[in-house]
Amino acid sequence: MFNNQEELHIFQCTLSIYALELTPLVLVIMAEVKKALYRLHIFKQPANCKTEAGLLSIWKNVSDLILDMRLDYTIPVYYYYSKIFIVFIDWDCWRNKDPAFPEDALIWFTDGSRANSGTESGIFHLRPNRSFSFPLGKFVTVFHNEIYAIIQCACENLKWAYKNKRILIFSDSQVAVKVLSSPKVTSGLVAECLDALSALASLNEVTLACVPGHYGIPLNEEANKLARQASAMLLLGPEPALGIPKCLAREAIKN
């Protein structure tokens, strides 16, 4: 069955790998090469894919359409001197459902969600009551939904040209609020969000606050309801609505 001891040794090693449910080394190496080549693709420095021999030829076999879609990535941008107030409110403050908001403040609640039909965002404005829903298609993560909702909230306020106002924006995504509080940004969508919030904060007092999700807070539930309503709406335009997150690209390479 085996011509020499070397072939027997290779066979025994292969059996051991599958018995331990380990990924064969050659597949691990190929996956890492694909990731490296994809990074070159992101930075607009594609390798010479016409090369027939060597590791570069592996890229020719990566055929997932996701890898040809625009990516949500930007070279690192730093926001050191932000005028946006970002706070994490103690959850005990919400035990009585809705706290007393300042009478002169503009109150917004934003939310994003995912359904079988795709992802969607919603924003709700208290005083006066205004609501918006945004379908975003199937290639957008919940995190990107949350960020997009905050962008739309900031843009809506900019459209009304508010000046010297107190604007409170609430989100139930701790991840989104924490990312927006970080000075280093590598997501194009996050950078767009911070730019919109900064433009709004240059003329107003803007506070972005995190609220507990699924906590029975009426105004937050209203924003969540608006996000779910968008699942019944059609996305106008081609997919993807936003840049592809890196996690989807990595999953495509892995598979």
For the chain, residues with pLDDT lower than 70 are: 1-24, 26, 40-64, 94-99, 117, 127-128, 255
Structure token pair of residue 20: 């331990």
Q: Do 109 and 195 have their domain in common? A: yes
> What is the pLDDT, as a whole number, of residue 224?
85
69 is a domain residue: no
Q: Give residue 20's domain range.
A: 5-62
Q: What share of the chain is helix, strand, coil (3-state, %, to 5)?
A: 45, 20, 35
> What is the pLDDT, as a whole number, of residue 214?
72
Per the structure, how many domains does the chain have? 2
- What's the residue count for the chain? 255
**Residues 155, 161: Cα–Cα separation, whole Å:** 10
Q: Taking the CB of residue 50, how many other CB atoms lie within 10 A of it?
A: 8
Q: Do 95 and 215 have their domain in common? A: yes
**Residues 140, 119: Cα–Cα separation, whole Å:** 6
Query: Residue written as tokens 């609430």?
Result: 170
239 is a domain residue: yes
Q: Taking the CB of residue 132, how many other CB atoms lie within 10 A of it?
A: 18
**Residues 7, 67: Cα–Cα separation, whole Å:** 38
Q: Do 93 and 175 have their domain in common? A: yes
72 is a domain residue: no
Q: Do 44 and 169 have their domain in common? A: no
250 is a domain residue: no
155 is a domain residue: yes
Q: Please answer whether residues 239 and 66 qualify as being in contact, where contact means their C-beta atoms are separated by less than 8 angstroms.
A: no
> What is the pLDDT, as a whole number, of residue 52?
47
Among 239, 231, 154, 248, smallest CA distance to 192 is for 154
Q: Do 119 and 223 have their domain in common? A: yes
> What is the pLDDT, as a whole number, of residue 155?
95
Pairing of strands 130-137, 166-171: unpaired
**Residues 103, 49: Cα–Cα separation, whole Å:** 62
| Residue where a domain stops, chosen among 38, 62, 86 | 62
- As a whole number, the mean pLDDT across the chain is 80
